[in-house]
Amino acid sequence: MKTILSILTLILSATAGAQSFQASVSGSATVYAIQSLTLTGGSIIPNFTSFEHYLNGVEVKGYLNIGVKSNKAWTLSVKAQNAHFSPMSAGGSTNMPSSVLSVKPSTSSDYKTISTTSQTIKTGNKGDTNASGNAFQLDIRYNPGFSYKGGIYTLGLIYTLSQQ
């Protein structure tokens, strides 16, 4: 009898050990839209050294390198911080408008004239800088003509990256 009771206990123990239990847990996560804009370069100062430069302007290709990281489609726009350039040298013109400056992506032929009104210069898709179109260069063109005094001038540009 003792042997039968021991065998029965072992069988019940083995059966109880073979059972499994399950539980589930659910949760949620919030993923926010995130964007990053990297600007490098932009320090080349063009020289107006010939009559032709004053007549047709000076173009600097690859003036600015831009990298965009975004988990949403994006738009990049630019505008001037002020309506006029500020002279940095004595006797410079105070009325040279921001419109003597224009920019475009290097792959485009369409220059955008700079003003204090924001203008779209490029759009793109979500991804990091390895995604097609999310790393590019801007060309810049200065064309003041003959209307302004010689000197060194400055103008702040504001680049804005926004979600589409």
Instruction: Average pLDDT across each block of 10 residues of the chain; the chain has 164 residues. List them in order.
Output: 47 56 88 93 86 93 96 97 96 95 96 97 95 96 93 94 94
Q: Which helix (H) or strand (E) holds 17?
A: helix 2-17
- CA–CA distances in Å: residue 68 to residues 10, 35, 36, 78, 124: 67, 7, 6, 15, 9
| Contacts for 41-49: CB closer than 8 Å, 24+ residues apart | 41/65, 45/152, 46/142, 48/142, 48/150
The reported pTM is 0.80
The predicted pLDDT at position 10 comes to 47
What architecture does CATH give domain 35-163? Sandwich (2.60)
The predicted pLDDT at position 17 comes to 53
The predicted pLDDT at position 48 comes to 86
The predicted pLDDT at position 9 comes to 47
The predicted pLDDT at position 8 comes to 43
Q: Which residue from 102, 101, 87 is spatially nearest to 150, judged by alpha carbons?
A: 87
The predicted pLDDT at position 46 comes to 85
